[in-house]
Structure 1
Amino acid sequence: MTKPTVFGFVLAVLVAAPASVLVALYRSEDLDPAPLPGGSSDQTSSVPEIHSCILKASEKVGEGLLPGPEDLAYDAASGFLYTGCDDGWIRRIKLRKEGETAKEGVEDWAYVGGRPLGIAFGPDKQLLVASAYKGLVSVGEDRAVRLLAEEADGLRFGVADGVDVASDGTVYFTDASYKYNLATHMLDIMEGRPHGRLMSFDPATARTEVLLSGLYFANGVAMSPDQGSVIFCETPLRRCRRYHVRGEKKGAVDHFVDSLPGLPDNIRYDDEGRFWIGLCAGKSKSWDLMLRYPMLRKMVVVSSKLADFSHHVRKGAGVLSVSLEGEPLALYTDRELSLSTGGLRVGRHLYYASLVKSYISRIPLDELAAGKQ
């Protein structure tokens, strides 16, 4: 977005807000925006390999049959790719093998209700689901659905979001906001206060524990391959941090990767030395400006311009791959791509999810790399 467009948008917000609304800015008790830690950084981590036109290289998988496939999980033994959809269904897609030309089939696999977001397989082949309106859910191989952690545990879930499972069966998941729900999640981001948490569920004791609180819209979760730590994303701060679950640093939090080229959503490890981070929107001047000035964020919300603002800033989405040490390696993006929520590498292809599309997208990594697009 060019500078004239950025400031033109801000000016439109100011002009659209009548005097009565401006007075309400100082009286509203529902939204209390705060400065974000460190202000609004204009820095962006350098990425050595960038593919900036992935839409023309993308193929649609399951088009029209997958409403809002927000996160992805792959079962290599069966060849099925699983995703959670906006209508409460977990669906699976039988991926075609190398050289096959048949169209992938989409199957309604298990109805979990709510709005399934993060999904991940546990060691016993059960699928763990973070449902925005229900909490933590598991689905067995027999497709039986079981509610594991819910508000009855004394923990109010606003947006149960990311999830991953350790080899010992411990489930790690995030609650992006205990104050807002999925329908109002943009208010949490605009408020700029730390309502997010990183949590764990122990299947042996059925105990849910808050590991970290005070997080800024805690989103995706991924176990490290050595099982010693959990990587989690904080969307508005454009960063991912590491929480140590064992060893000398147990309970400590440290840096993993920050100054991302967009707003991180889900994160997934591919068993080949790379984490894949979905970027639901690219970094923009409008977003930087909003994060720098809390009162401007409140004006956008109170003047009913939040939908317009969201539309302006959600473009430039994509997927970023990083090393085990959090070093950015490759960015797959497109100026017209929006609300891409996660990426998963399966063989030679990168599959990426979406909050709003009716399909999963797939790009051939080797062909893309050869063209250096």
Structure 2
Amino acid sequence: SRGVGPESLAFDCGGEGPYVSVSDGRSLKWRGSKLGWTQFATTTPYWRLRRLCDGSTSPRLEPWCGRPLGIEFSPVTCDLYIADAYFGLPKTEAGGYLKYDPHSNEVTIMYRGLAFPNGVALIKDKTFLLVAESIPMRVLRFWLHDHRAMCPPQPFAQLQKIPDNIEADSKGEFWVA
């Protein structure tokens, strides 16, 4: 399966991949030169029209096909965290922060109502992750453990420009594009 318009890239906790989110709403996994890219996940499994969406390069179709703009695996749980700007999941409002469990193949809504989430990065000590939110030009912190995990996200940074993605480097510093 071929993908166009890659946005975010991640490796799973076993070092496999890379996994990439692409402009037609799919997340793909690299399975080596013999198998190439294969579909791994979509955030809109019931609404997504494969004939319309797969391989599309049209930004006009993103509201129907979904657009995972940030993906990140937890090295502790192997869960895949997804920031999708349009759907989140079927029958939910746009702008979801989602978690994919590769063991059960289930997607869980972690938070709803984000204004164009556009990237996700896990902090080095794995206590929280950051989600770049384009419309309000900010970065939010989502706690992953203890009592704070049940709380709404906290502002982490207010930006001067619209963020297009966020990544953490090996030192644990965050970079916003």
Quote the offset at 1:277 in angstroms.
0.5
Q: For residue 122 of structure 2, what is the aligned residue in structure 1?
A: 223
1:175 maps to amino acid: D
Which one has the bigger helix percentage? 1
Q: For residue 208 of structure 1, what is the aligned residue in structure 2?
A: 107
- Is the Cα contact below 8 Å between 1:175 and 1:197 reproduced in 2? yes
C-alpha RMSD of matched pairs (Å): 2.3
Q: For residue 143 of structure 2, what is the aligned residue in structure 1?
A: 244
Distance 1:144 1:251, change over 3 A: farther
Query: What's the TM-score, normalizing by structure 2?
Result: 0.76
Which structure is richer in relative contact order (CA contacts within 8 A, separation 6 or more)?
1
Percent identity over the alignment is: 24
Number of matched residues?
Answer: 153
Counterpart secondary structure, 1:250: helix
Q: For residue 82 of structure 2, what is the aligned residue in structure 1?
A: 173
Quote the offset at 1:169 in angstroms.
1.5
CA distance in 2, matches of 1:152, 1:171: 15
Is it true that 1:128 corresponds to 2:32 in the alignment? no
Query: What's the TM-score, normalizing by structure 1?
Result: 0.38
Distance 1:240 1:144, change over 3 A: same
CA distance in 2, matches of 1:160, 1:268: 15
Q: For residue 117 of structure 1, what is the aligned residue in structure 2?
A: 7
Q: How does 1:14-163 map to 2 (within 5 A)?
A: 112-125=2-15, 126-141=17-32, 144-150=36-42, 153-154=45-46, 157-163=65-71
1:199 maps to amino acid: L
- Is the Cα contact below 8 Å between 2:127 and 2:144 reproduced in 1? yes
**Structure 1 gap segments, 5+ residues each:** 1-110, 180-193, 279-373
Counterpart secondary structure, 2:147: coil
Correspondence for 2:154 among 254, 269, 273: 254
Q: What's the CA shift string for 1:285-326, capped at 9, x where partnerless? A: xxxxxxxxxxxxxxxxxxxxxxxxxxxxxxxxxxxxxxxxxx
- Is the Cα contact below 8 Å between 2:66 and 2:87 reproduced in 1? yes
Which structure has the greater CA radius of gyration?
A: 1
Quote the offset at 1:198 in angstroms.
0.9
**Structure 2 gap segments, 5+ residues each:** 49-64
1:240 maps to amino acid: V
1:127 maps to amino acid: P
Q: What's the CA shift string for 1:333-354, capped at 9, x where partnerless? A: xxxxxxxxxxxxxxxxxxxxxx
- Is the Cα contact below 8 Å between 1:114 and 1:134 reproduced in 2? no
Quote the offset at 1:206 in angstroms.
0.8
Q: What's the CA shift string for 1:76-134, capped at 9, x where partnerless? A: xxxxxxxxxxxxxxxxxxxxxxxxxxxxxxxxxxx632432111122222212112213
Distance 1:151 1:172, change over 3 A: closer
Quote the offset at 1:135 in angstroms.
2.0
Quote the offset at 1:268 in angstroms.
0.9
CA distance in 2, matches of 1:254, 1:155: 31
CA distance in 2, matches of 1:251, 1:140: 36
- Is the Cα contact below 8 Å between 1:228 and 1:247 reproduced in 2? no
